[in-house]
Amino acid sequence: MVLEIGIMPDLMYLLINVNHKNNVCYVVNRISGYYSQVLMERFPELKRKLPTL
């Protein structure tokens, strides 16, 4: 559950409540993977500049 969001031009802060059954690393990897996909779909030119995303 997202408790707070902070957005800056080059950063995004999330304060999330993670269930004790979920590993924090797993949740962070899922969130970053999702947003990486979204960015690649919206800005395909990033693939040429940042092939590791």
Instruction: Determine, yes or no, domain membership for 49.
Output: yes
Instruction: Determine, yes or no, domain membership for 9.
Output: no
What DSSP character marks residue 46? Answer: H
- Residue 34 structural domain: 19-53
- The residue assigned the tokens 């797993």 is 26
Structurally, the chain folds into a number of domains equal to: 1
Query: What are the pLDDT digits (tens) for 3-40?
Result: 999 989 888 888 988 888 878 888 889 988 998 888 88
Instruction: Determine, yes or no, domain membership for 24.
Output: yes
Task: Identify the pLDDT of residue 50.
Answer: 65
Look at the pTM and tell me if it is higher than 0.75: no
Residues sharing a CB contact under 8 Å with residue 9, sequence separation 6 or more, in sequence order: none
Query: What are the pLDDT digits (tens) for 37-51?
Result: 888 889 888 777 766
Instruction: Determine, yes or no, domain membership for 13.
Output: no
